[in-house]
Amino acid sequence: MTHARSQATYQVRLGWGAAALELLEPADVIVVVDAIGSSPALERAAQDRADIVFAASLRNATATARAVYAAQRERAARTSIALVLAGDDGAFAVEDYLAAGAVADGLSALGIDHTAPDAAVAGEGFHGLTRALKHLLSSSATGLALAEEGRREEVLAAAALDADDAARRL
């Protein structure tokens, strides 16, 4: 019997950190979501699990959704997608959840909407909070910690939705 948290029956799945790569049903495409910075170890682990891996943030959310859609069209088959959130040392990170929601929202707009509840909640959360992204990122635990390190501008730049028009395929 498939573990209920594997989200096996859904096309778009969502999980946190390296544990998600074990827990979620294997996917054709993995999107590593890190809203502020990057997660090289998680990106490498994802590349061991799927042939198509993207790195996403708020800055390239729509471009990433379009690239995933293009990959599905190229495959000419229904494509399973795992949104794997980097988190803050494996913990919940609101900025990554919002970025995953932005990608999920973009996928849904393109017709890829057979979405696990986890991903649907992220998408709807993003949709409802889009106007507050700058505030939410800067007041998140990660945003506050980076501001204390003198990196507030990096956090504000990370909140720039769709500032980059290219997906980053790993």
User: What digits encode the pLDDT tens for the residues 26-67?
Assistant: 999 999 999 998 899 999 999 999 999 999 999 999 999 999
pLDDT score for 88: 66
Distance (Å, whole) CA 11 – CA 27: 9
Q: What pLDDT, on a 0 to 100 scale, did the predictor assign at position 2?
A: 63
**CA distance linking residue 47 with residue 88, whole number of Å:** 20
List the chain residues with pLDDT less than 50. Answer: 1
Q: What is the pLDDT of residue 1?
A: 43
How confident is the model at residue 89, as a pLDDT?
Answer: 64
pLDDT at 116: 94
Q: Give pLDDT, residue 5.
A: 85
The whole-number pLDDT of residue 12 equals: 97
Q: What is the pLDDT of residue 90?
A: 62
Check: pTM over 0.85? Answer yes or no.
yes
- What are the sequence ranges of the domains in the chain? 4-125
Token pair, residue 44, equals 């490498």
Give the fold, CATH level 3, of 4-125: Cobalt-precorrin-4 Transmethylase; domain 1 (3.40.1010)
Buried b (16+ CB within 10 A) or exposed e, 42-53: bbebbeeebebb
